[in-house]
Amino acid sequence: MASNNFIDYVKINCRSGRGGAGSHHFFRAKGLPNGGPDGGDGGRGGHIILEGSSQLWTLLHLQYQKHLIAKPGENGGENLRTGAQGEDIVIQVPLGTVARDAETGEKRLEITEHGQRLILTPGGRGGLGNDHFKSATNQAPTYAQPGEPGIDEWIILELKLLADVGLVGLPNAGKSTLLSVVSAARPKIADYAFTTLVPNLGVVAYRDYQSFVMADIPGIIEGAAEGKGLGTRFLRHIERNATLLFMISCDSPDIAAEYQVLLGELEQFNPELLDKKRLLAITKSDMLDDELEEEIRQTLPTDLPTVFISSLTNKNIQKLKDMIWQALHAKG
């Protein structure tokens, strides 16, 4: 995922097709000048449909496609002929896409599986032809229903990355470096804050040809929930992660306090994030000797599994993978 191509938020205008009008035709033939009603129904207007695709990772293809207009249904015809349905518009989106009403913010639907199709904006129903309205007291109805109008609305599409484990930490905690070591992902790495400006995904190979997906989320800082730094723009990607791996550098002046800052920002964004399984990795531990490592260990939170790692020397990287795998497959 190139950073300049990662789009996780778009606002689009959806206009479904109007339904076709029902026909108020009467059958006429030689010898039958007063045939009965035979008007057919109008066709349904075109839907706008979202379809999940595991081949997509971004909403980039919709960034410049702001208006989606479905075709109307055709009018009904004589001899009970039903009008053709309007052609649907099918939009492929990445797994983890959520659709919301742009005005109310109400969640409409979410796409989580490959090939899953859900109607985003339904087309108008076709009108009934006059054949439906005949009765013993009204054998020649001249009335037929008009088609329902289509819907014209603005929709927000948000992408929440589907990953097994999300990396959570302050800028320069070593998240991107770890992802580059354990997967084929190549995120931007540098020695300044906010190097990672967009989330990155990597598939981590595990034992016996198994694997899991890891997401590197741009660094959080204190006050992110109020909009500082990159704010909460990317925190929604953590909502889809089964396990959260907190990463704190061993040279942090107060690891326990930094961990509480990260927890606090997640709680302000969405308290349910605190219900996820958590692991803690102390990074850059190649700078530590055994004595310093033990000294730091005494200050660490005791309510979650902890490991000292180094992406530079591969210290405890396999142990970290084992811990993640166990957390992902633990019951409860």
- Interatomic CA distance for residues 300 and 256, integer angstroms: 6
> How far apart, in Å, are the Cα atoms of 96 and each of 53, 54, 62, 113, 248?
10, 10, 15, 8, 28
- 270 assigned ligand-binding residue: no
- 175 assigned ligand-binding residue: yes
- 171 assigned ligand-binding residue: yes
- 160 assigned ligand-binding residue: no
- 302 assigned ligand-binding residue: no
| Cβ-based neighbour number of residue 31 at 10 Å | 5
- 170 assigned ligand-binding residue: yes
- 161 assigned ligand-binding residue: no
- Tell me which residue of 198, 275, 266, 236 sits closest to 100, measured CA to CA: 236
- 53 assigned ligand-binding residue: no
Cα-trace Rg, the chain: 29
- 16 assigned ligand-binding residue: no
Phi, psi values for residue 66, rounded to 5° = -80, -25
- 76 assigned ligand-binding residue: no
CA 330 vs. chain centroid, Å, equals 25
- 218 assigned ligand-binding residue: yes
- 176 assigned ligand-binding residue: yes
- 219 assigned ligand-binding residue: yes
- 172 assigned ligand-binding residue: yes
- 255 assigned ligand-binding residue: no
Half-sphere exposure at residue 172, Cβ-oriented, CA atoms within 13 angstroms: 7
- 281 assigned ligand-binding residue: no
- 89 assigned ligand-binding residue: no
The amino acid occupying position 280 is: L
- 111 assigned ligand-binding residue: no
- 249 assigned ligand-binding residue: no
- 194 assigned ligand-binding residue: yes
The amino acid occupying position 34 is: N
- 54 assigned ligand-binding residue: no
CA 43 vs. chain centroid, Å, equals 32
Straight-line distance from the first to the last Cα atom of the chain, in angstroms, rounded to the nearest whole number: 33
- 275 assigned ligand-binding residue: no
> How far apart, in Å, are the Cα atoms of 191 and each of 140, 233, 250?
83, 23, 16
Contact 19, 219 (CB under 8 A): no
Could you tell me which residues are annotated as the binding site?
169-176, 194-198, 216-219, 283-286, 310-312
Could you tell me which residues are annotated as the binding site for GTP?
169-176, 194-198, 216-219, 283-286, 310-312
Could you tell me which residues are annotated as the binding site for Mg(2+)?
176, 196
